[in-house]
Structure 1
Amino acid sequence: MSMKKKTYEEVIKESPVTYELYANMVDDGNRYEISDGVLELMSPSPTPTHQSVSQELLFTLNASCRNEFIIYSAPIDVILSDTEVRQPDLVMIHRSRMSIISNRGINGAPDLVVEVTSEHSRRRDKVMKRIVYAKYGVQEYWIVDLSNFTLEQYVLDGNRYELTEMYAEDDTISSKTATCASFTMNEIVQSLPVHPDV
């Protein structure tokens, strides 16, 4: 039985919002996530610096990690539960866990998630998403902060994250989850097509 497509205004009245409702929404050109059964509009659109940093990270990680990991960039649905659907900037899934990849998205926790944060998403990325990704078992979470071009590395310890390292400038980034990753934030910034105004 096919479901009638609903608009954003119709879906937000539902409680809780489920993946099925979300997946059958009218495409209005916006990006949404489901946070604990609540539909959230992701706005405003990412800046050129955000997109460039995300693309450079994707390129860098693909160059060193593609033999071990499948790497996706946003938008892609990470379906953590029926009422928790996120769209991280980058996700890494070890090839031994490819069974969580389907035509609808990623069904479960990726091995590593990257969020490139901005002034509009900082609280969401550093507080709310950190709690959610830990709850659902994402082994490692990176937050790239565009205000100072740092990378905060969180590693799952039980059911919560520990900040294990903060990388800046020429610090070489390394990961126990993705041992193939090795780069510096300066390398990312120097590769940007337009130098960012910080």
Structure 2
Amino acid sequence: MNGRKDSTGKKPAHDLIKESNLTYDDYATIDDGNRYELADGQLELMSPAPSVSHQIISFEMQKNIAGSCESDYIILSAPVDVILADSEVRQPDLVLIHRKRMDILSNRGVVGSPDLVVEILSPSTLKRDKIDKLKVYARFGIPEYWIIEPKAGILEQYSLSNDQYEPINVFQKEEQITSPNIPCISFTMTDIMERIPKLE
């Protein structure tokens, strides 16, 4: 890696993005106004800012989860770095960490595997969320993974079994969402989707 830096002392992302075997320290020096994830030592440029609908869904989910789980769990929303390894840094839309495991929290982000990660799909993240992250989150032992399909108002629930995710439920409309790992979870997708305005 070359040592050239910009006037702020940061390494330009266009220098780093061509290289592999990057580490968290390399990732943390990038300050070019873009958002990245670090996938197996390679930078991945994230899409532009999430849509307003995406952000409202994230907020409503956070609010509903907090309503029954806040006393037991820390709930964080993107952008937050989940540092799974020195070469693997992800930014899920929502993250839950049990308060008994607060030792994995630092000012840098979450250093280790959360109890639950949630990704809200958009056209630009479909393959990344449903294929790449499904494998990565399982590999690093995150017990539960949710994928939200905003247009259909569906929550796909995956649970870790023998180091792989198994789809265990699909929730929609008035079905009560429950979790085998997080007993305080209690809301429906209607609770979320009825709060989302129809936007152009």
| TM-score calculated relative to the size of structure 2 | 0.93
Query: Counterpart of 1:135?
Result: 139
Q: Distance in 2 between matches of 1:181 and 1:28?
A: 38
- Count of aligned positions: 193
- Where structure 2 has 5 or more consecutive residues not aligned to the other structure, the ranges are none
Query: Counterpart of 2:92?
Result: 88
Structure 1 residue corresponding to 2:175, chosen from 162, 166, 171: 171
Structure 1 residue corresponding to 2:17, chosen from 12, 15, 27: 12
Q: Distance in 2 between matches of 1:133 and 1:174?
A: 20
Query: Counterpart of 1:182?
Result: 186
2:198 paired with 1:195: yes
* 1:91-110 equivalent positions in 2, closer than 5 A: 91-110=95-114
Structure 1 residue corresponding to 2:42, chosen from 38, 45, 57: 38
Q: Distance in 2 between matches of 1:127 and 1:68?
A: 30
**Stretch deviating more after TM superposition (66-75 or 11-20):** 11-20
Identity %: 49
**Stretch deviating more after TM superposition (163-172 or 4-13):** 4-13
Q: Distance in 2 between matches of 1:149 and 1:89?
A: 16
CA contact (8 A) 1:151 1:168 kept: yes
The structural deviation recorded for 1:120 is 1.0
Structure 1 residue corresponding to 2:33, chosen from 29, 34, 37: 29
Please report the RMSD computed on the Cα atoms of aligned residues, expressed in angstroms.
Answer: 1.3
Q: Distance in 1 between matches of 2:13 and 2:69?
A: 37
The structural deviation recorded for 1:29 is 1.9
2:140 paired with 1:147: no
Q: Distance in 2 between matches of 1:60 and 1:195?
A: 20
Counterpart secondary structure, 2:131: helix
Q: Distance in 1 between matches of 2:199 and 2:167?
A: 26
- 1:60-117, Cα deviation, whole Å (9 max, x unpaired): 1111101000010000000000110000000000111100001111001000000001
Q: Distance in 1 between matches of 2:120 and 2:140?
A: 20
- 1:161-191, Cα deviation, whole Å (9 max, x unpaired): 0000000111110002211111111110112
- Where structure 1 has 5 or more consecutive residues not aligned to the other structure, the ranges are none
